[in-house]
Amino acid sequence: MEKKQRGFKLLLVDDEDFFREATARQLTVRGFHVLTADCGEAAVLMTQNERPEVVVLDQEMPGMRGSETFIEIKKIDPLIEVIVLTGNTSVDNAIEMMQQGTFDYLMKPVNIDELLYKIEDAYTRKKLNERQNQDAAS
Amino acid sequence: MLKIIASFSKRLFRRNQETDNLPLEAGEIEKLRLTFKSRYHSFKLLLANNSRILEAMAEMEKALQGEEPFSMSLVQSNSTKVSVNVFRMIGDIENIAPGKYTALKDSFKEIQKRIDALLVQKKVIVDKRLVIPLAGVDSSMVDMAGGKMANLGDIKNRLEMNVPEGFVITAAAHELFMTSKGLQKEVDRLFQVAGSDEDRNLDLVSSQCRQLIMAAEVPEPICLAVTTAYSAIKEKNDGQEVRMAVRSSAYGEDAVNSSFAGQYRSELNVIFPRFFHYYKQVVASKYSVQAISYKMNRGFRDEDIAMCVGCLAMVDAVVGGVIYTGNPLDNRDNSIYINSTWGLPKAVVDGNDLCDLFVVARDEALTILRREVREKKYQVLCYEEEGCVRSETDAYKKNTPSLTDEQIQNLADHAVRIEQYYESPQDIEWAIDAVGKIYILQSRPLQQLELILPGEELNLQRYQSSLVAEGGINASPGVACGSVFKVNKKAEILQFPDGAVLIVEQALPTWAPLVSRAAAVVSEQGGFAGHLANVAREFGIPALFGVKGAMVKLQNGDIVTVAADLGQMYLGCISVLLEWTRPASKLMLGSPVYELLREVSREIIPLHLLDPESREFTPQNCKTFHDITRFIHEKSVYEMFNFGKDHSFSERSSKQLHYKVPMNWWILNLDDGFSHEIEGKYVKLEDITSIPMLAFWEGFAAIPWDGPPAIDGAGMTSILFRSTMNPALVTGMSTKYAERNYFMVSKNYCTLSSRLGYHFCTMEAMVSERSGENYLGFKFKGGAADYERCVGRVHLIRDILEQYGFRATVNIDNLDARLEGFNMEHMRRHVKILGYLTLHTRQLDMVMNNRGMVNYYMAKFTKDIDSLIKPQPL
């Protein structure tokens, strides 16, 4: 198990308590600074206040759905990278979400290492985009 | 890929010298570094996505062999995995080369549209009738009434045989029931939450689904329609209440040799006030543990099966049973096999007890060939109030034949007529009431197996002392060996080890979920007409029934050999018997899920874009997802290589390897493959940090190559001949064949295209701490010698690579090998093997027609590689 500290904030959003808590624990052990939210509304608020770099977002949640939450989060931080989790294996949903600009799409049950790689890749992508944006602005 | 890298690298190198003289501004350099870094990140993501696609395709190909059971979730998850990752690869190449390959999106859409059409195809129920009286049912209504009731409709209405009054609650009713209060959605959700096929707790999900259905209300329109149909039957019975048999007649039950024998519930002797409770029980039995596992093992999707329910007036049977219009164990034997017992036929189909067997010839007189009257200890009878009871048979009837000769011949006559009508062997359930009237209760296709007899040389005399049982009933042919596991109660199902020999007292359908996991099934009771026997035959698992005392004589863990065809069981593993085993049946072939996978795979797996140099190698010609993947992979390598040239950026141009002396190897640093930025045209080995490249080099340089082996006369002639025909093969000529060797590297990645001697090879490796993303790919092609020798060398390399765990395939003289998912150290060792082979198989094709030389090199290479990859002492 990797122990290195990853100094960035990660927000995990899922309404299933057991999954959210277990995944948060596993990611914390792997050195992530993990914030959690149990619904879309809480995720938007958390993004506003805590400014995470990467969001791992469950698609099927009661209330504000994953796709709606994604749009709201992107309004707060257009460069934030979002990985969508789903128990639904429909291709249409996956492609639609990626067309909207999510970084990646993972099916439940999630392999924790695969999720970890995706989070790292999403973070790298975010940093590269930020630098390119700064360059373009200057 | 190699040709592209070679030709562009050549230009790149030329450009290198020009651009060295045109220094860029510091700001421009920084921008280019950032752009390149961003593209390299996309390239890395692209490679990981490519790898995931190949893994998913490998899983689909494995499933297509049809030997292992798989469910709809395998088809859906793998096709989604491929689609999503192909879509991501298109995004990645767009990041690497913005705007250049946008046409890929159109190809993707077209292919995806075809796959979607396959995956979402759903049966639309046109006939909306909820209940249909049996008098209005025939075999054209399988969709509405299910196979069982549709056949029974034919027998009643067209063959005009006695069938009890009844009606069918249709597929439309099932759909209404499952959708009216969101039941189906909830069932789907329960399965989704329960995880993959392997992880799922079947008992839990089965119980949740069944409880859900039992707690639901039957919609009013169904209740009304059923009540009307029942009233009509009651009226015919002079207004007296009628007891009903409520039986599953699921649509899809009779597809491609699948009997669904005993998988669903049937309730006998039901009084009308309790009717809807039992209707729900039959519907809920679609989610019994045995039905779920049967569906999964036989490749049925949940949505393929609509639970139609047959309702028949109860026959108060004096005697009942099952007729086979042929021998199920020998397709050459068309005699009629009548299994019969006292009371209801349930005792025969459930396999609880022994029953009589009468075999009738198909001659004009319907001669009775054989009578096997067995001790029928129990019979199943209707309770006066409701339901059935298994009671002890009256003493005088136990050993008395359950049928008279006249009844036997009469039944045989019915069976022949039904078979003639359906034009295929049939499995028929029947009953005779107190006045001697024959009723047909069910008819379905009979699966007959090919009899394989032991050769005359099979002499089992010396194993006589190990014989623990003989004279058993061959319920499903075959021989198998395994350790004994006795199952008494349902809870023990959970402990059953895969590959064990299942020993039970009664051959009950309850044990059906274990059949596909067992080496063989042995039961003290039961006959070959029971449900469990049917299931064993379908799965090709040997089953031996009627083995008295098996539960007592054998202990868990005993090793036994079951020879069902001989009716025998031996202690220990009898190898001479095992040699006589029939080939494993490919259960999944032809099942709905298998067919769907096959069709979906056609849109995913075939590769049409083979030659990157061809004019056909375009996004528009991508016909499958594999084509898109291949195209993108090729172009991404090209774009990464081209970056330095396109942007006059020498820092991202290739350097020549300096290893003692300048070597014919050129290296392009993609990111962190060098320890620092290298000025000038050379890079030293010690400045390279690429883990896979260094491992490759270690293997390449570890054991000196003492030149090509001495060429035999024919080998040399072959080369001279091919050189004459193809001047490009002559060493030293300035042709595209005389290119250099190119590496693209980063710390964890390297790709190589190499030409050593007359063969091409490409190697690609990802070796990092992310074991799940690690992979090695190796392609090898060509040679100077004739075709036969080139093929010989490719086979030699394949054999060696397979020996070290690679998955290798040879197509003509192309070798394609892959290894993935191991940790860094394991991958490093295997890259070394590729380095070693790249050098040491050089020009080996020349001696490949000499068996002795092949063996010599096989042994030498194995020895060298073993010494190369053995773990270093600390």
| Chain A residues whose beta carbon lies within 8 Å of the beta carbon of residue B35 | 132
B773 has a chain A CB within 8 A of its CB = yes
Q: Chain A residue closest to B112 (CA)?
A: A91
Which CATH number fits the domain that encloses residue B478? Answer: 3.50.30.10
- Which residues, listed in sequence order, are joined to residue B667 by a DSSP beta bridge? B655, B743
B85 has a chain A CB within 8 A of its CB = no
Question: Min CA distance, B91 vs chain A (Å)?
Answer: 10
Rounded Cα gap, residues B655 and A112, in angstroms: 39
Task: Tell me if B607 is assigned to some domain.
Answer: yes
| Chain A residues whose beta carbon lies within 8 Å of the beta carbon of residue B88 | 98, 104
| Chain B residues whose beta carbon lies within 8 Å of the beta carbon of residue A94 | 80, 83-84, 87
Splitting chain B (874 residues) into consecutive groups of 10 residues, what average pLDDT does each group show?
45 44 65 84 90 87 80 82 93 93 95 88 75 92 88 94 96 93 85 64 86 94 96 94 92 58 80 94 90 76 84 93 90 91 86 85 92 88 82 89 95 95 91 95 84 67 83 88 89 85 88 87 84 83 90 92 90 82 66 86 89 87 94 88 72 79 84 86 92 94 69 46 38 39 88 70 89 87 67 86 89 83 93 90 68 83 90 60
In B153-221, the DSSP E strands lie at 166-169
Which CATH number fits the domain that encloses residue B369? Answer: 3.30.470.20
Task: Tell me if B10 is assigned to some domain.
Answer: no
B723 has a chain A CB within 8 A of its CB = no
Residues A125-134: contacts with CB within 8 Å, 24+ apart? A125/A81, A125/B41, A125/B45, A126/A53, A126/A54, A126/A79, A126/A80, A126/A81, A128/B34, A128/B37, A128/B38, A128/B41, A129/A79, A129/B38, A130/A79, A131/B34, A132/B34, A132/B35, A132/B38, A133/A79
Instruction: Say which residue the tokens 């060996």 belong to.
Output: B481
Rounded Cα gap, residues B740 and B639, in angstroms: 19
Secondary structure of residue B272 in the 3-state scheme: helix
Both B237 and B155 in a single domain? yes
Which CATH number fits the domain that encloses residue A97? Answer: 3.40.50.2300
Could you tell me the residue range of the domain that residue B271 belongs to? Answer: 131-313
- The contact set of A with B (CB < 8 A) is 2, 87-92, 94-95, 98, 104-105, 107, 109, 111, 113-114, 117, 121, 124-125, 128-129, 131-132, 135
Both B329 and B377 in a single domain? yes
Q: Does B771 contact A95 at a Cβ distance shorter than 8 Å?
A: no
* % residues pLDDT > 70 (chain B): 85
Task: Tell me if B9 is assigned to some domain.
Answer: no
Both B321 and B262 in a single domain? no
In a 13 Å sphere around the CA of B10, the CA atoms on its Cβ side amount to 12
| Chain B residues whose beta carbon lies within 8 Å of the beta carbon of residue A128 | 34, 37-38, 41
Q: Chain B residue closest to A98 (CA)?
A: B88
Both B723 and B834 in a single domain? yes
Residue B26 CB neighbours (<10 A)? 8
Rounded Cα gap, residues A92 and A105, in angstroms: 12
Task: Tell me if A38 is assigned to some domain.
Answer: yes
Interface confidence, given as ipTM, is 0.88
Rounded Cα gap, residues B677 and B664, in angstroms: 21
Task: Tell me if A17 is assigned to some domain.
Answer: yes
Pick the more confident residue, B109 or A60: B109
Please name the residues in contact with A114: beta carbons below 8 A apart, sequence gap of 6 or more: A106, B772
How many distinct structural domains can be found in chain B? 5
Rg (chain A; Cα; Å)? 14
Which site among B33, B51, B55, B80 would you substitute to test the A interface, given the most A Cβ atoms closer than 10 Å to its Cβ? B80
Q: Does B84 contact A105 at a Cβ distance shorter than 8 Å?
A: yes
B95 has a chain A CB within 8 A of its CB = no
Strands B661-669 and B741-745: parallel
- What DSSP letter does each residue of chain A carry, written as one string? -------SEEEEE-S-HHHHHHHHHHHHHTT-EEEEESSHHHHHHHHHHH--SEEEEES--SSS-HHHHHHHHHHH-TT-EEEEEES---HHHHHHHHHTT-SEEEESSPPHHHHHHHHHHHHHHHHHHHHHHHHHH-
How many distinct structural domains can be found in chain A? 1
Pick the more confident residue, A2 or B782: B782
Task: Tell me if B104 is assigned to some domain.
Answer: yes
Q: Does B76 contact A89 at a Cβ distance shorter than 8 Å?
A: yes
Both B85 and B222 in a single domain? no
Q: Does A121 contact B45 at a Cβ distance shorter than 8 Å?
A: yes
Q: Does A95 contact B83 at a Cβ distance shorter than 8 Å?
A: yes
CB pairs under 8 A between A and B: 65
Both B402 and B499 in a single domain? no
Q: Does B772 contact A124 at a Cβ distance shorter than 8 Å?
A: no
Rounded Cα gap, residues B750 and B398, in angstroms: 79
Please name the residues in contact with B486: beta carbons below 8 A apart, sequence gap of 6 or more: B492, B503, B504, B551, B554, B556
Task: Tell me if A94 is assigned to some domain.
Answer: yes
Q: What's the per-residue H, E or C state across B632-647?
A: HHHHHHHHHHHHHHHC
Write the residue in B41, B44, B80 that is nearest to A89 by C-beta. B80
In a 13 Å sphere around the CA of B461, the CA atoms on its Cβ side amount to 3
Instruction: Say which residue the tokens 């025939």 belong to.
Output: B138
B48 has a chain A CB within 8 A of its CB = yes
Task: Tell me if B4 is assigned to some domain.
Answer: no
pTM: 0.65
Question: Min CA distance, B309 vs chain A (Å)?
Answer: 31
Both B671 and B744 in a single domain? yes
pLDDT value, residue B124: 67
Q: Which amino acid is at B457?
A: E
Both B150 and B210 in a single domain? yes
Q: Chain A residue closest to B108 (CA)?
A: A95
Identify the domain boundary among B522, B552, B573: B573
- What DSSP letter does each residue of B564-588 carry, written as one string? GGGTEEEES--HHHHTTPPPPP-TT
Sign of the CA dihedral with B99 first, then B105, B107, and B108 last: positive
DSSP code of B611?
A: -
Name the helix (H) or strand (E) containing B196.
none
Write the residue in A94, A95, A125 that is nearest to B41 by C-beta. A125
pLDDT value, residue B17: 45
In a 13 Å sphere around the CA of B337, the CA atoms on its Cβ side amount to 19
Both B247 and B135 in a single domain? yes
Both B612 and B673 in a single domain? no
Q: Does A114 contact B81 at a Cβ distance shorter than 8 Å?
A: no
**Contact by Cβ (8 Å): B379, B395:** no
Both B88 and B187 in a single domain? no
- In order of A72, B253, B294, the CA distances from B73 in angstroms are 32, 20, 15
Secondary structure of residue B527 in the 3-state scheme: coil
DSSP code of B310?
A: E
Write the residue in B31, B80, B773 that is nearest to A117 by C-beta. B773
Rounded Cα gap, residues B586 and B338, in angstroms: 30
pLDDT value, residue B664: 80
Task: Tell me if A3 is assigned to some domain.
Answer: no
Task: Tell me if B13 is assigned to some domain.
Answer: no
Q: How many residues does chain A have?
A: 138
**Contact by Cβ (8 Å): B842, B759:** yes
Identify the domain boundary among B391, B410, B445: B445
* Contact map slice: B 531-570 vs A, CB within 8 A: none
B25 has a chain A CB within 8 A of its CB = no
CA angle at residue B640 from B637 to B642, to 5 degrees? 105
Residue A81's pLDDT band, with cuts at 50, 70 and 90, is very high
Q: Does A91 contact B80 at a Cβ distance shorter than 8 Å?
A: yes
B656 has a chain A CB within 8 A of its CB = no
**Contact by Cβ (8 Å): B536, B521:** yes
Question: Min CA distance, A31 vs chain B (Å)?
Answer: 15
Task: Tell me if A1 is assigned to some domain.
Answer: no
Which site among A128, A130, A132, A134 would you substitute to test the B interface, given the most B Cβ atoms closer than 10 Å to its Cβ? A128
Could you tell me the residue range of the domain that residue A44 belongs to? Answer: 9-137
Both B151 and B288 in a single domain? yes
Rounded Cα gap, residues B223 and B493, in angstroms: 38
The alpha carbon of residue B383 and the mean position of all alpha carbons in its chain are separated, in whole angstroms, by 45
Question: Min CA distance, B192 vs chain A (Å)?
Answer: 7
Q: Does B769 contact A113 at a Cβ distance shorter than 8 Å?
A: no
The two structure tokens encoding residue B834: 């590729």
B116 has a chain A CB within 8 A of its CB = yes
Question: Min CA distance, A105 vs chain B (Å)?
Answer: 8
Write the residue in A91, A98, A117 that is nearest to B770 by C-beta. A117
